[in-house]
């Protein structure tokens, strides 16, 4: 099935197979669709054997960074006598990204199963699913599914009669994009401001409550049971880009496009065909102009660059951008890039946690300059200032939020400089006082 549109024949629905199917939400429905087989099997395996399979599958983190999942799990030292934790990052807040919401809405048990397998594999008896506070429906669906799973003895003490304990709890956020950063997420879970932490120490050494912790994205964890059921080779073979990128990936598509929604394709799919065939191309009478293809933090590209992309981790990098979270934002020829980029900068300014100077002050400053340009009061020097400011804001802070503000803006100016210069040339008045609103 598909949601909100029907599944396209060229999609490879693994995670999205049951989107739109209310029966898949229930425990019985999920079991009838092959659910919890992987967990039952996993609980009788050695944790390291599970890690090895995930390693062999080539699964990489689907939250944005693309770090190999099996490798991440292998950092957790089983039997070190410490409490271990698994955090599922369901703080999906990156503009353009809305795939985890659908996974949780339609297939909550897929995530529970993934969390349970993941927790067991890293030696954790407790997993927390940190869901952004706005996601009322996904939270309710997850809570209900967890209650069902708990009542059925699938999770909790002696999970599935295995003698192993796996508790899973939902933790509701309260409105902060930065809590999707893994160390900020842990702080938030601990009842603190969602400030990212300095690394090292890395979470696998000192994470949640100071204990070894692994943080995985919803989509990553939901893929794990499929890998256990079908084998690492199956997952690798699914990709057109094997061995570098494996499996299928959910791409969220939004903006000026005929059929916005989530699409699941194998790694290495042609982005051009994806955009025009699966997503239905531009709106009637319009043309695609620019894309931010991996959630709003990645560099802006032109449609020409996009059409050359092979949809895997390397393919996006080759065209000067990143796969990121797979949130594809499309702007057509009716959109003003300065206005859109000013809005993106404003998002980051609003979401900065306020710790690092460059981010706290820089994101707000960049927003003010861009908004002034959009208001017709920009200067050519403003563009230079933005470039230099972005330099100050990149690679110098605790987390990458300030880098994320600069990346789409700087690349956007480079690629659509004409639109900025047109606004600057058309300054409403040269006598307007500097700094006037």
Partner 1 sequence: MSHGPSAPAQAHGGAHAHHVPYVPVFTDGSARLKELKDIISRYPDKRAALLPALWMVQQERGWISEDAMREVGDQLGCTAAYVKGVVTFYTMYHQHPVGKHFIQVCTTSPCLCAGADDVVKAFLEHTGCKELGLTSPDGKYTVIEVECLGACGFATPVQINEDYVESVTPEKVPGILAGLK
Partner 2 sequence: MMKDEGGKMVNLTIEGRAVSVPEGTTILEAAKTAGVLVPHYCYHPGLPVAGVCRMCLVEVEKAPKLAPSCATTVGEGQVVHVYSEKALEARKGVLELLLINHPLDCPLCDPAGECELQDYTFQEGRADSRYHEPKRFNPVEDFGGDVLYVTNRCILCTRCVRFMEDVHEDAVLCVSERGDRATIGKAPDADLTQPWAANVIDLCPVGALVSKDFLNKARAWELDRTASVCTGCSQGCNNVLETRDNVVVRMKPRSNEDVNHFYLCDAGRLDYRWMNRPDRAEVPKIRLHDVLSPVDWDIAIQEVGGRMKGKRAYVVASPRLSNEALFLLKRIVKQTGGEGVFRCATGPEAPLPGVKDLSLRADRAPNVRGAELLGFKRNDADPLAGLKDGDVLVLADESLGGLDLSAAKKASAIIVIGTTLVDGITPAVVLPIANVAEEEGTFTNLRGRVQRFLQAKTAPGLARPSWYALADLATALGVPSDDMHLPSTIFTALAKSEPAFTGLSYDTIGLRGGLVAGATAGAH
Distance of closest approach, residue 433 Cβ to partner 2, in angstroms: 10
Tokens of 45: 């395996």
- Report the alpha-carbon distance of residue 195 to residue 193 in Å, rounded: 6
Question: Please, how many CA atoms are within 13 Å of residue 335, restricted to the half-sphere of its CB?
Answer: 23
Tell me which H or E stretch contains 142: helix 136-151
In the DSSP assignment, the letter for residue 277 is I
With contacts defined by CB under 8 A, name the span among 8-16, 188-196, 238-246, 418-426 that binds partner 1.
188-196
* The one among 16, 107, 188, 248 contacting partner 1 by CB under 8 A: 188
What is the contact mask toward partner 1 in residues 275 to 314, using x (rule: CB under 8 A)? -----------------x---x------------------
Task: Choose between 121 and 401: whose C-beta lies nearer to partner 2.
Answer: 401
Per-residue CA distances from 308 to 132, 240, 254, 273, 303 (Å) = 35, 15, 20, 10, 9
Contact 262, 98 (CB under 8 A): yes
What is the size of the binding site for partner 2 (CB under 8 A)?
34
Closer residue to partner 1 in complex, CB, 174/308:
174
Q: Which two tokens stand for residue 335?
A: 């959109």
CB under 8 A: which stretch of 98-106, 159-167, 205-213, 343-351 binds partner 2?
343-351
Which residues lie across from 295 on neighbouring strands?
293
User: Does residue 70 have a cis peptide bond before it, meaning omega lies within 30 degrees of 0?
Assistant: no
If one asks whether residue 435 binds partner 2 (CB under 8 A), the answer comes out as yes
- Minimum distance from CB of 390 to partner 1 (Å)? 18
State the binding partner of 135 from partner 2, partner 1, none, CB within 5 to 8 A by kind: partner 1
Interaction of residue 255 with partner 1, rule CB under 8 A: yes
Q: Rounded CA gap, 315 and 336, in Å?
A: 27
Q: Cβ of 156: how many Cβ atoms within 10 Å?
A: 16
3-state class (DSSP) for residue 195:
coil
Binding mask 125-164 for partner 1 (x = CB under 8 A): -x-----xxxxxx---------------------------
When the beta carbons of 140 and 392 are compared against partner 2, the nearer one is 392
Question: Which does residue 293 bind out of partner 1, partner 2, none, counting CB within 5 to 8 angstroms by kind?
Answer: none
> Is 106 or 235 the residue whose CB approaches partner 1 more closely?
106
The token pair at 167 is 């508790």
Lookup: tokens for 79:
């039997």
Q: How far apart are CA 206 and CA 20, in angstroms?
A: 39
Residue 263 near residue 269 (C-beta atoms within 8 A): no
The least distance separating partner 2 from the CB of residue 378, rounded to whole angstroms, comes to 10
- The one of partner 1, partner 2, none whose footprint includes residue 209, by CB under 5 to 8 A per kind, is partner 1
- Of 69, 97, 242, 297, the one binding partner 1 (CB under 8 A) is 97
| Residue 360 touches which of partner 2, partner 1, none (Cβ within 5-8 Å per kind) | partner 2
Residues 8-47 that bind partner 1 (CB under 8 A): none
Which of 6, 28, 49, 59 is closest to 222 using CA atoms? 59
176 binds partner 2 (CB under 8 A): yes
Are the C-beta atoms of residues 13 and 264 closer than 8 Å to each other?
A: yes
Q: Round to whole Å and give the CA distance between 181 and 184.
A: 5
Q: How far apart are CA 317 and CA 322, in angstroms?
A: 5
Stretch that binds partner 2, among 242-250, 315-323, 327-335, 352-360 (CB under 8 A): 352-360
Token readout for 128 is 């927390």
Token couple for 61: 């983190």
* Contact status, residue 380 vs residue 425, Cβ threshold 8 Å: no
Q: Which of 21, 52, 83, 421 binds partner 1 (CB under 8 A)?
A: 83
Structure tokens at 422: 């047109």
Among 265, 349, 374, 405, binds partner 2 (CB under 8 A): 349
**CB 219, min distance to partner 1, A:** 13
> Which of the listed partners (partner 1, partner 2, none) does 356 bind, with a CB threshold of 5 to 8 Å by partner kind?
partner 2
In the region spanning residues 353 to 412, those forming contacts with partner 2, defined by CB under 8 A, are 353-358, 360-365, 368-369, 372, 381, 385, 388, 391-392, 395-398
Chain residues binding partner 1 by CB under 8 A are 4, 83, 92-98, 100-101, 126, 132-137, 167, 169, 171-177, 188-194, 209, 252-256, 260-262, 292, 296, 327, 329, 331-332, 335, 339-340, 343-344, 347, 350-351, 353
């Amino acid at each position: 099935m598909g949601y909100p549109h029907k599944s396209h024949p060229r999609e490879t629905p693994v995670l999205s197979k049951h989107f739109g199917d209310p029966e898949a939400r229930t425990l019985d429905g999920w079991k009838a669709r092959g659910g919890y087989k992987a967990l039952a099997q996993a609980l009788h395996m050695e944790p390291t054997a599970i890690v090895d399979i995930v390693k062999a599958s080539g699964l990489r983190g689907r939250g944005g960074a693309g770090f190999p999942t099996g490798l991440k799990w292998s950092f957790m030292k089983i039997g070190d006598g410490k409490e271990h934790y698994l955090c599922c990052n369901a703080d999906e807040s990156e503009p353009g990204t809305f795939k985890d919401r659908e996974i949780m809405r339609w297939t909550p048990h897929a995530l529970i199963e993934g969390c349970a397998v993941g927790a067991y594999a890293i030696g954790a008896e407790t997993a927390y699913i940190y869901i952004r506070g706005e996601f009322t429906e996904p939270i309710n669906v997850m809570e209900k599914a967890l209650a069902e799973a708990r009542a059925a003895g699938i999770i909790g003490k002696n999970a599935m009669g295995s003698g192993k304990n796996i508790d899973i709890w939902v933790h509701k956020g309260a409105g902060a994009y930065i809590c999707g950063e893994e160390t900020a997420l842990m702080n938030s879970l601990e009842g603190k401001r969602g400030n990212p932490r300095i690394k090292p120490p890395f979470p696998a050494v000192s994470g949640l409550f100071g204990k070894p912790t692994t943080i995985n994205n919803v989509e990553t964890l939901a893929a794990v049971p499929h890998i256990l059921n079908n084998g690492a080779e199956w997952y690798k073979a699914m990709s057109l880009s094997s061995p570098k990128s494996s499996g299928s990936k959910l791409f969220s598509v939004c903006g000026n496009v005929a059929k916005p929604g989530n699409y699941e394709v194998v790694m290495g799919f042609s982005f051009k065909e994806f955009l025009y065939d699966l997503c239905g191309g531009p709106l009637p009478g319009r043309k695609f102009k620019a894309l931010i293809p991996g959630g709003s933090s990645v560099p802006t590209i032109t449609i020409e660059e996009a059409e050359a992309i092979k949809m895997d981790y390397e393919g996006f990098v080759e065209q000067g951008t990143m796969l990121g979270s797979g949130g594809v934002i499309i702007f057509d020829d009716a959109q003003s890039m300065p206005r859109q980029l000013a809005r993106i900068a404003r998002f980051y300014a609003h979401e900065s946690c306020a710790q690092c100077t460059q981010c706290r002050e820089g994101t707000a400053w960049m927003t003010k300059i861009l908004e002034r340009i959009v208001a017709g009061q920009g200067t050519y020097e403003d563009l230079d200032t933005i470039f230099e400011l972005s330099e100050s804001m990149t690679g110098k802070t605790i987390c990458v939020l300030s880098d994320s503000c600069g990346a789409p803006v700087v690349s956007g100016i480079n690629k659509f400089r004409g639109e900025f210069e047109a606004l600057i040339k058309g300054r409403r008045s040269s006598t307007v006082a500097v700094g006037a609103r």
